[in-house]
Amino acid sequence: MLPLLDGILFCRNISGSFLRGYLAQELGQLAYLQELLMVCRILHGNNLIGIIPKEMAYFSSDIRGKYTSSANITGFCRSSQLQVADFSYNFLVGSIPKCLEHLPRSSFQGNCLQNKDPKQRLTVQCSGAPPSKSHPGPNSNHQPTDNIPKHQGASKPTWLLALEIATGTMVGSLFRVGIITALQKLNGKSSIIMPWKKSASGKDHMTVYIDSEILKDVVRYGRQDLEVACEDFSNIIGSSPDSVVYKGTMKSGPDIAVISLCIKEEHWTGYLELYFQREVADLARLNHENTGKLLGYCKESTPFTRMLVFEYASNGTLYEYLHYGEGCQFSWTMRMKIIIGIARGLKYLHTELEPPFTISELNSSAIYLTEDFSPKLVDFESWKTILARSEKISGAIGNQGAICVLPNSLEARHLDVQGNVYAFGVLMLEIISGRPPCCREKGCLVDWAKEYLDLPEVMSYVVDPELKHFRFEDLKVVCEVVNLCINPDSSKQLSMKELCTMLESGIDTSISVDFKSSSLAWAELALSS
């Protein structure tokens, strides 16, 4: 109990101490309380809420605060001696009790009262104050809500604010790391952290989590072994702005084609490392007689190396055979077998894999031929799109601050099924005509062939003049499929499964066909065996 002397309440000065809760009705039971808060101002500038306790059965008033009441009177209206009080700058609601209207209006300012004459808080500041009807009874243990706004005059020390910000930042970082760690544990995979890219200032804007186990089932070759196999990387069989292709022979192993990515270490980003792993894992799952077989990869830091190792197809590319003097050796039956082989490979990639796989740039340079001229689809150009997307992502990140990228958060491999189907139609035209897709002298192959594809009487004009014979029934099937592939209305474009069925059922690739149509069949058979 606070000490009382001559009707005056004495206590420590705790004004602005952020007291919370409701005004107890028992305060009004101090019958001789005359100067509440006059000396200690307990109620001024706190976080008191609810209404000012006044409850009574009835009362009458005069300007000096003398009241006649029944025994039911509780609250401040019971204290007939109360002449001074300060309820200002809290979050009290409701109205000023009539029994306290003799007090100065300044005693009630800075609250959320309904009276219009005292200076009250703005509506937005009073949004956290509970309604007057929620005021608890005398024995209630109700706790005030935490969303009550603090009054305008109370401000936290700068050091306390800085401490809260630092603590919040630390907790947020720990929370983020915890989520990432939990995700990795759920996936059952370990990770290593790699910066977005090397920076002289040390300010990296992205942290990339590299999955260290995604390639655990793929063979990893050492650079030195590949260097020996490829004759010090001098046996170049192909090149592009993004890569160089070497031919090599492993000791007591198969012939290999090694694709070395042309990129400097300082330009190699965490994003590209993540995509390199994804691409290797994606290629390693391909397993079909008409798709290139990935044997493994090479990844080293000194010197910086990123390579893909494929099984070598000994007869080179289809483009070389068609356009560098070897095309005349291709019999019609051999060309039909190559077309059906390509169709089967695409059907496998598009419909038998989950998720599907498409060739980035499907053309005759992406088709390799084995010793028996079986076609192998190899995706050597996927790095063009990956490098382009890397630059796009890098530009989009800018200076946004720290961003985390997990292995499973990368966008899916770009799929262009319709593009592959269209390219297959162009490939078929290229195979039966012996003409390149685009030529300065002869123009675009598709535009040239369109006028012959639908007319049986001129359809034979699309056949390579180097061929001595061909089967017209096969030609009609091929031309029909070509029309379906290059149709600009994508809704009429069939799937590779349907197109492959049409080719397999409509084309005769048996040896007897060659014997019937040409006296040179035995010689052509010898060349194809």
pLDDT of residue 41: 43
Query: Is 208 part of a structural domain of the chain?
Result: yes
- The pLDDT tens digits of the residues spanning 261-278 come to 888 888 887 778 888 888
Range of the domain at 228: 191-312+378-413
Judged against a pLDDT cut of 60, whether residue 326 lies above it is answered with no
**Both 212 and 269 in a single domain?**
yes
Write the secondary structure of 184-213 as one string of H (helix), E (strand) and C (coil).
HHHHCCCEEEEECCCCCCCCCCEEEEEECC
pTM of the model: 0.60
Output the domain CATH number for residue 454.
1.10.510.10
User: What pLDDT digit, counting tens, does each position of 12-53 carry?
Assistant: 444 545 555 666 655 555 555 544 444 344 566 676 778 777
The answer to whether position 239 is within a domain reads yes
CA distance 258 to 309: 5
- CB atoms inside a 10 Å sphere around CB 437: 15
- Decide if 349 contacts 375 (C-beta within 8 A): no
Residue 149, in any domain of the structure = no
Q: Within this chain, do residues 446 and 394 fall inside the same structural domain, yes or no?
A: no
233 and 342 share one domain: no
Lowest mean pLDDT among 188-197, 216-225, 486-495: 188-197
Sign of CA dihedral 111, 116, 117, 121: positive
In degrees and rounded to multiples of 5, residue 407 shows phi and psi of -55, -40
285 shares its domain with 431: no
Between the alpha carbon of residue 355 and those of residues 111, 191, 248, 273, 360, the distances in Å are 64, 24, 32, 21, 15
Q: For residue 327, is pLDDT > 80?
A: no
Instruction: State yes or no: pLDDT of 231 exceeds 90.
Output: yes
47 and 16 in a common domain: yes
How confident is the model over 68-78, as pLDDT tens digits?
Answer: 444 444 566 65
Please check whether residues 97 and 8 belong to one and the same domain.
Answer: yes
The pLDDT of residue 94 is: 82
Residue 402 has pLDDT above 50, yes or no: no
State the Cα–Cα distance between residues 446 and 102, nearest whole angstrom: 99
Joined tokens for residue 330: 């291709």
Cis bond leading into 303, ω under 30°? yes
How many Cα atoms within 13 Å fall on the side-chain side of residue 483? 14
Domain identity same for 286 and 388: yes
| Domain total in the chain | 3
Tell me the CATH number at 407: 3.30.200.20
Report the chain's terminal Cα–Cα distance, integer Å: 112
